[in-house]
Structure 1
Amino acid sequence: MNAFKLPLLFNGSSLAYGLLGGVTQPLFNRHQLKAGLAVASAGQNIAFYNYRQSILQGYQEVLSSLKGIEHYLKIVDLNQSEVQVLTDAVSTSTELYLNGYASYLEVITAQKGVLEAELKRTASQKELLTVVLDLYRSLGGGWE
């Protein structure tokens, strides 16, 4: 600024040259700055929509797991009722056999029905535990 020669005013080490460059650089890089802003804004929108999708997917998994638990609890309860009824049928058919009103084949058939019902109940309980495990994973538990 103290220079009386005009070429020294626009030299690379002068204050005027630095000030002029600092003011004009944003004007020359205007499109590049706008493009950078647009890219950053698009990245922000992508991150927001990915986050939103993750939240919706997690909500859907939890809701379906809760409905599955409710469903399998009803199935296990019905299977337990079926086992109880068939167990009563076995005792009835055993009494009929002992009194001579039924054959032993009917007792074996009734016992087979109880065994099949118990296997169905066990499979339903396994499915119930699987759905509970899925709910646990959906809520953030587990290793993955």
Structure 2
Amino acid sequence: EFFPKLSLTALFGTARPEVSALTGGSATIWAVAGMLSGPLFNAGRTLGTYRASVAQWEQARLQYEQAVLTALREVSDALTALGKLSEAETGQDRAVKALEEAVGHATDRYRYGLASYFEVLEAQQQLYPAQQTLAQIRRNRLLAYVQLYKALGGGWSLTDAEWTDQGEARAR
């Protein structure tokens, strides 16, 4: 709307008084018309509309950039968490295996009368929290996989109540 609109119309033809007078006299008709239109004064409305459009475009661009940055951050966070949790799981798994071996040795020593049952209980007291920690690390690692899946664009179609209903139905 910054520039005026120019329209041109042209007409050319012949006119005859009767249809049967195809060979006779006829008159040639032609016309050319032009039109120029545009706003003379609109109190800055055109410039204001242009500036509003530019501002809307800039807002949409910034929202898109923010969405991309958020998505990249979420993917990076999920991948970092997966790496750290995998390392923690490996270390905790080694610790649990060593404690299981210690419980086995303590049990063998008790069976052969070389130690009291108190030694077995102490070894078990160290094993069970380590196993619980390992289970929590594995749970957190699986949740990190879920976060990564969601960050990469995956989604859920079930609500929490629907998940609960499905879990109860499977338990039956």
Question: Which is worse superposed, 106-115 or 48-57?
Answer: 106-115
Query: 2:152 & 2:124 partners in 1: Cα distance?
Result: 42
Q: Which of 28, 35, 49 matches 1:19?
A: 35
2:73 corresponding residue in structure 1: 60
Q: CA deviation at 1:70?
A: 0.3
Count of equivalent residues:
126
2:133 corresponding residue in structure 1: 120
- Deviations for 1:34-82, whole angstroms, at most 9, x for unmatched residues? 1110000000000000000000000000000000000110111111101
Query: 1:27 & 1:102 partners in 2: Cα distance?
Result: 105
Which runs of 5 or more residues in structure 1 are unaligned?
Answer: 1-14
More strand by share: 2
Q: CA deviation at 1:19?
A: 3.2
Residues 1-144 of structure 1: pairs in structure 2 closer than 5 A: 19=35, 22=37, 25-29=38-42, 31-143=44-156
What is the TM-score when the length of structure 2 is the normalising length? 0.67
Which runs of 5 or more residues in structure 2 are unaligned?
Answer: 1-31, 158-172
Matching residue's letter, 1:104: Y
Matching residue's letter, 1:73: S
Query: 1:30 & 1:139 partners in 2: Cα distance?
Result: 49
Match of 1:61, SS? helix
More helix by share: 1
What is the TM-score when the length of structure 1 is the normalising length? 0.80
2:170 corresponding residue in structure 1: none
